[in-house]
């Protein structure tokens, strides 16, 4: 219990820090703090809803509440979508990874341990791609947003393979994940493709 609290506190700090780091040059800290706070509240709300109604769906319900809240805040606060999305992705990944690590330790779960390492690798890959994507000749637009979309798309693709191998992994719910994960992977890569050819 104590380990879970500490992990979540660190995860929350990472969320606010990375949101601030990605958006600090364009927005006042108050807007960034409001975005982080509302995302955090939506995450807690999603977890509470899932716990009461459908405990197995905690990942997807939280994903939905965060996604809807994010879209609302972008419009309400007049924030740039792709810049904010990058901040959200890199902010949420450590929080998710730490929870997989705690579950792996608590239940001696190999699948959760694999998901923790998956998330950790994606975090490092995020920073690598963020420093390199403008050099990709095929990414013609060079617009911000590549990193976040690529990482979240990869995350859902990896979920498909881990689901096939370890369907009992924390956050997986059979048989829905085999349909939902590919759908969202396709959606994010489709947005990435459109972004790559955009001239605006």
How confident is the model over 25-38, as pLDDT tens digits?
A: 888 888 888 999 99
H helices present in the chain, as ranges:
2-23, 29-52, 58-77, 81-107, 110-132, 146-165, 177-197
pLDDT digits (tens, 9 = 90+) for 81-134: 888 999 999 999 998 888 888 888 887 877 778 888 999 999 999 999 998 888
Q: How far apart are CA 64 and CA 46, in angstroms?
A: 8
Q: What was the pLDDT predicted at 23? A: 87
Residue among 34, 38, 40 at smallest CA distance from 15: 40
Would the pLDDT of 171 be above 70? no
- Integer Cα distance of 7 and 158 in angstroms: 23
pLDDT in tens, 28-69: 888 888 999 999 999 999 989 988 888 778 889 999 999 999
Question: Could you tell me which residue, 75 or 5, shows the higher pLDDT?
Answer: 75
- Evaluate whether 110 touches 167 at the Cβ level (below 8 Å): no
Token pair listed for 123: 């975090």
What are the C-alpha distances in Å from 113 to residues 32, 49, 95? Answer: 32, 26, 14
């Amino acid at each position: 219990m104590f380990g879970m609290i500490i992990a979540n506190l660190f995860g929350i700090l990472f969320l606010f820090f990375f949101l601030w780091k990605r958006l600090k040059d364009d927005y006042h800290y108050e807007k960034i703090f409001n975005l982080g706070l509302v995302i955090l509240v939506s995450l807690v709300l999603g977890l509470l809803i899932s716990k009461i109604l459908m405990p197995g769906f905690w990942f997807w319900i939280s994903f939905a509440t965060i996604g809807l809240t994010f879209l609302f805040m972008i419009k309400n606060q007049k924030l740039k979508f792709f810049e904010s999305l990058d901040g959200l992705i890199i902010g949420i990944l450590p929080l998710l990874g730490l929870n997989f690590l705690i579950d792996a330790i608590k239940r001696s779960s190999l699948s959760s341990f694999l998901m923790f390492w998956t998330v950790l690798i994606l975090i490092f890959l995020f920073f690598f791609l963020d420093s390199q994507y403008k050099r990709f000749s095929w990414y013609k637009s060079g617009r911000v947003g590549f990193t976040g979309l690529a990482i979240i798309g990869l995350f859902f693709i990896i979920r498909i393979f881990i689901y096939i191998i370890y369907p009992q992994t924390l956050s997986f719910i059979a048989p829905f994940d085999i349909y939902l994960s590919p759908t969202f992977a396709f959606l994010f890569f489709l947005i990435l493709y459109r972004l790559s050819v955009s001239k605006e």
